[in-house]
Chain A
Amino acid sequence: MKKGVIIFALFLLWVLLVAAVIALPPMGSSETPAYTHVVPRYLEKEVEEGGANNIVTGIILNYRGYDTMGEVTVIFTALICVLAVLGRENIKRHTSKVELSSVEKSVIVKSVVRLLAPFIILFALYIILHGAESPGGGFQGGAILGASVIVFTLTFGFTLGMKKFPLKYRTILESAGPLSFFISGVVALFCGLNFLTYMLPCINHAYQDLVRHLLLLIIEIGIGIGGGTVIGSIFFAMEKVEKE
């Protein structure tokens, strides 16, 4: 009875939403309002103004720089909240359920991960550093970096994972995201410009482009390393169980 009412109400909502879809402009047309107002300017001027061949990266770091700074802070805050709820892991006190279980891990999984782990990390670094030229950037590379930490720890055990990614380094690297925005943003203040301006007219003209690339690279690396470490630390905090 209750379920029937829910399904009926949701069906009505679905009909309403699909009726709204009929009124929307056809998908894939280049004459929709969303495509004709701001986008042409971004597509034409981004390389000149933002300094990245990948327009998505340019928009994230340049036109929507403050927004991205907020997002990075949200991710960092999520980690702080997870740690506040579950607590940090400790190499002496904690282990994981996977490590405690008596099931032998397959040789195939172990050898494949041992073989692939360096390449996964290399790929993540490539994606972080090449974010301005090809698909990729800090968020993408950071996610892959975090996934590589997880896959390593799940395969080779929690204790070895904690040894390879020690707490004292992770504590510092977790804050790399917001910190890199701070470092790159503050530079512009010395030129009398707004926070997070990358094009600095107060330095020698020949070096302007180089400095802009450097500032963007600092942010990309910060988001990448910070995001990857945050994912790894969330994983460690959730996976740990008390030793007997």
Chain B
Amino acid sequence: MLRSLDILLLIFLLVTAIGVVRTKDLLGASIIFSAYSLIMAIVWQQLSAPDLALTEAAVGAGVTTVLFLIAIGRTVRREDE
């Protein structure tokens, strides 16, 4: 049943979002954010939106994560500094 796959993916989405919030190391948080975006891309595909899946996989998981990584590399890595 595809609906159960949907629900599983959405629960993963929640778990990764909480992971982003709770990780103190910003580098780790941005990598979890990349995983979040990839799961989001699969959710778009499940919702019959292939255009969005393509864009999210390239922009969310690729470009945004790289921009976060660059910003972390040029500033601080720990959250509390």
Cα A154 to Cα B62 with chains together (Å): 12
Of A54, A97, A137, A150, the residue contacting B62 (CB under 8 A) is A150
B66 proximity list for chain A (CB < 8 A)? 150, 154, 235
Q: Residue on B with the closest CB to A131?
A: B51
Given A146-B63, A150-B62, A231-B63, residue A139 in contact with residue B70 (CB < 8 A): no
Q: What is the total number of residues of chain A having a CB less than 8 Å from a CB of chain B? A: 23
Q: Which of B22-71 contact A (CB under 8 A)?
A: 50-51, 53-55, 58-59, 62-63, 66-67, 70-71
CB closest residue in chain A, given B71: A238
- Residues of A107-140 at the interface with B, using a CB-CB cut-off of 8 Å, are 127, 135-137, 139-140
A135–B54 touching, CB < 8 Å: yes
B51 near A136 (CB under 8 angstroms)? yes
Collect the chain A residues with CB atoms within 8 Å of residue B71's CB. 238
* Chain B positions 7 through 21: 1 when the CB is less than 8 Å from some CB of chain A, otherwise 0: 000000000000000
Q: Are B74 and A241 in contact (CB under 8 A)?
A: yes
Please indicate the chain B residues that have their CB under 8 angstroms from the CB of A147 in the complex: 58-59, 62-63
Measured CA separation A147–B64 after assembly (Å)? 10
Given contacts A97-B73, A241-B74, contact A144 B67 (CB under 8 A): no
Given contacts A146-B63, A147-B62, A150-B63, A238 and B54 within 8 Å (CB-CB): no
Contacts A56-B51, A140-B51; is A239 near B70 (CB within 8 Å)?
Answer: yes
Contact yes or no, B55 A140, CB < 8 A: yes
Q: How far is the CB of B63 from chain A (nearest CB, A)?
A: 6
CB <8 Å contact, B67 and A143? no
Q: Could you tell me the distance between the alpha carbons of A238 and B62 in the complex, rounded to whole angstroms?
A: 15
* B31–chain A nearest beta-carbon distance, Å: 15
Give Cα A137–Cα B51 distance, bound, in whole angstroms: 8
* Cα separation A235 to B53 with both chains bound (whole Å): 22
**Taking the complex as formed, is A234 at the interface, i.e. its CB lies under 8 A from any CB of chain B?**
yes
Interchain CB contact (< 8 A) of B50 among A97, A135, A150, A238: A135
A23-64 interface bits toward B, Cβ cutoff 8 Å, 1 = contact, 0 = none: 000000000000000000000000000000010110000000
Of chain B, the residue at the smallest CB distance from A146 is B63
Given contacts A238-B70, A239-B70, contact A139 B55 (CB under 8 A): yes
Question: Are B51 and A238 within 8 A (Cβ)?
Answer: no
Extra contacts besides A56-B51, A238-B71 (17): CB < 8 Å: A54-B51, A97-B74, A127-B54, A135-B50, A135-B54, A137-B51, A143-B59, A146-B58, A146-B63, A147-B62, A150-B62, A150-B66, A151-B62, A234-B67, A235-B66, A235-B70, A238-B74
Pick 8 A–B contacts, CB within 8 A, sort by A.
Answer: A127-B54, A135-B54, A139-B55, A143-B58, A150-B66, A151-B62, A235-B63, A235-B70
Q: A interface vs B, CB < 8 Å?
A: 54, 56-57, 97, 127, 135-137, 139-140, 143-144, 146-147, 150-151, 154, 231, 234-235, 238-239, 241
